């Protein structure tokens, strides 16, 4: 006689053991290089897009360096490094992905080539779009021109929001160069900085070096000295901007600058020495050397001619003089240089 199981929670028969896993199922899955490269390409592409957008929104280098600009916690140099690293990684992984899928790629390319021959209009449009994306930005035609204009407006916005650098890449000015520019001694400048807690160890230190000591912007270091010696001659020159520099004027009254936009250069400048140029525009040779150093041009002696310097830095003598004039626009003598007959005669070589 069989007695039925009336308790639904009890099984009718004892449970059986689950089947043992086969040796094949216990084997770990092999690492998929194809899957890895596909996923890494996707991640790298997204990182490139994001860093590219940050660089599109960034200010010009002179503003970013001078104000320690940052966006989402990173500065322009940081975003450039991220973008460059991911671009290199993207190219490398793309090459690896292509190598792993070479046979598949060849079959795909062959099939698409055959299909492309039959899709003449589509092929022509695809080539036209690709060429337009290369030629359009170079030629400056819409809509690429509008994209460039938008980028320039963004950079102009950042420039209006910050205190401009006195000269391009002013963070690279050495303390001795800054002291000479504003008619201070190195000791005066160093004392002002030390009182604010900066560690000043030598004349070769740059404004950027001091700024990094306290994680501040180079403009903060510059302002420390200007606030300590506001009446010192030279702030007008070293801090002159296109729209008029802030702060006290320089020693030159500016009445003789004659700096109209039609300013032109004398005919012969290649034989003009740095010292002669300085005399012609009422500057010292050291001040002219500071202007040239700010442009990244190293000059060993004020007796070097503009022609010699021009060959070394690969810019014309007139552009060299223009750079000096941009740094010292309010000194006298530019009007005389404009009217001077010949590069060396008007300066009393």
Residue 302 near residue 196 (C-beta atoms within 8 A): no
pLDDT in tens, 121-143: 877 888 899 999 999 988 888 88
Question: H helices within the chain, ranges in order?
Answer: 23-26, 33-56, 61-67, 76-100, 102-118, 120-139, 144-161, 175-181, 186-195, 207-213, 218-228, 235-238, 274-280, 285-294, 306-313, 317-327, 334-339
Query: Which is more confidently placed, 178 or 329?
Result: 178
- Same domain? 114 vs 48: yes
Domain assignment present for 16: no
- Same domain? 289 vs 193: no
pLDDT in tens, 2-27: 555 555 555 555 555 555 555 555 56
Domain assignment present for 321: yes
Domain assignment present for 28: no
Most confident of 108-112, 238-242, 248-252, 334-338: 108-112
Domain assignment present for 316: yes
Return all residues near 304 (Cβ < 8 A) that are at least 6 apart: 273, 274
Reduced to 3 states, what is the DSSP secondary structure of residue 74?
strand
- Same domain? 93 vs 69: yes
Query: Which is more confidently placed, 224 or 14?
Result: 224
Domain assignment present for 248: no
Return all residues near 196 (Cβ < 8 A) that are at least 6 apart: 224
- Same domain? 219 vs 317: no
- Same domain? 231 vs 293: no
Question: H helices within 247-284, ranges in order?
Answer: 274-280
pLDDT in tens, 260-304: 333 334 446 777 888 888 887 778 888 888 888 888 888 888 888
- Same domain? 144 vs 180: no
Q: Tell me what the mean pLDDT of segment 324-343 comes to.
A: 60
- Same domain? 155 vs 174: no
pLDDT in tens, 305-330: 888 888 888 888 878 888 888 777 76
Per the structure, the count of domains in the chain is: 3
Say what the pLDDT of residue 347 is: 46
- Same domain? 180 vs 155: no
Domain final residue, candidates 189, 218, 238: 238
Scanning the structure block, which residue is given the tokens 């009446």? 231
Domain assignment present for 261: no
Domain final residue, candidates 161, 186, 209: 161
pLDDT in tens, 212-222: 888 888 888 88
- Same domain? 139 vs 194: no
Query: Which is more confidently placed, 28 or 144?
Result: 144
Say what the pLDDT of residue 13 is: 56
Which residue range is the domain that position 220 belongs to? 170-238
- Same domain? 73 vs 104: yes
Domain assignment present for 67: yes
Domain assignment present for 333: yes
- Same domain? 67 vs 129: yes
Query: Which is more confidently placed, 86 or 102?
Result: 86
Say what the pLDDT of residue 92 is: 94
Domain final residue, candidates 216, 238, 260: 238
Q: Tell me what the mean pLDDT of segment 30-45 comes to.
A: 90
- Same domain? 75 vs 194: no
């Amino acid at each position: 006689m069989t007695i039925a199981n009336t308790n639904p929670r009890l099984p009718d028969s004892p449970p059986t053991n689950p089947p043992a896993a086969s040796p094949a199922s216990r084997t770990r899955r092999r690492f998929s290089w194809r899957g890895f490269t596909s996923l890494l390409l996707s991640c790298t592409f997204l990182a490139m897009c994001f860093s590219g957008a940050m660089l599109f929104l960034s200010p010009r280098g002179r503003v970013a360096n001078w104000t320690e600009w940052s966006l989402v916690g990173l500065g322009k140099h940081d975003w450039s490094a991220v973008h460059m690293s991911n671009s290199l990684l993207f190219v490398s992984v793309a090459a690896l992905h292509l190598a792993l899928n070479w046979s598949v790629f060849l079959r795909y390319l062959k099939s698409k080539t055959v299909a492309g021959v039959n899709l003449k209009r589509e092929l022509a449009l695809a080539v036209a779009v690709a060429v337009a994306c290369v030629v359009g930005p170079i030629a400056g035609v819409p809509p690429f021109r509008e994209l460039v204009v938008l980028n320039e407006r963004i950079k102009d916005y950042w420039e209006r929001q910050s205190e401009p650098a006195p000269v391009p890449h002013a963070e690279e000015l050495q303390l001795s160069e800054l002291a000479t520019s504003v008619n201070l001694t190195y000791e005066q400048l160093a004392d002002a900085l030390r009182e604010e807690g900066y560690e000043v160890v030598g004349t070769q230190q740059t404004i950027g070096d001091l700024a990094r000591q306290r994680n501040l912007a180079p403009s903060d270091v510059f302002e420390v000295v200007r606030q300590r010696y506001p009446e010192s001659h030279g702030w007008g020159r070293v801090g002159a901007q296109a729209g008029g520099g802030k702060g006290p004027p320089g020693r030159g009254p500016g009445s003789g600058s004659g700096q109209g936009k039609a300013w032109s250069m004398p005919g012969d400048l290649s034989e003009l020495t740095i010292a002669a140029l300085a005399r012609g525009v009422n500057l010292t040779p050291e001040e002219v050397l500071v202007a040239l150093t700010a442009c990244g041009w190293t000059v060993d002696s004020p007796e070097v001619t503009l022609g010699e310097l021009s060959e070394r830095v690969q810019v014309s003598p007139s552009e060299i003089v223009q750079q000096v004039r941009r740094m010292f626009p309010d000194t006298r003598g530019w009007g005389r240089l404009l009217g001077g007959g010949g590069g060396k005669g008007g300066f009393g070589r």
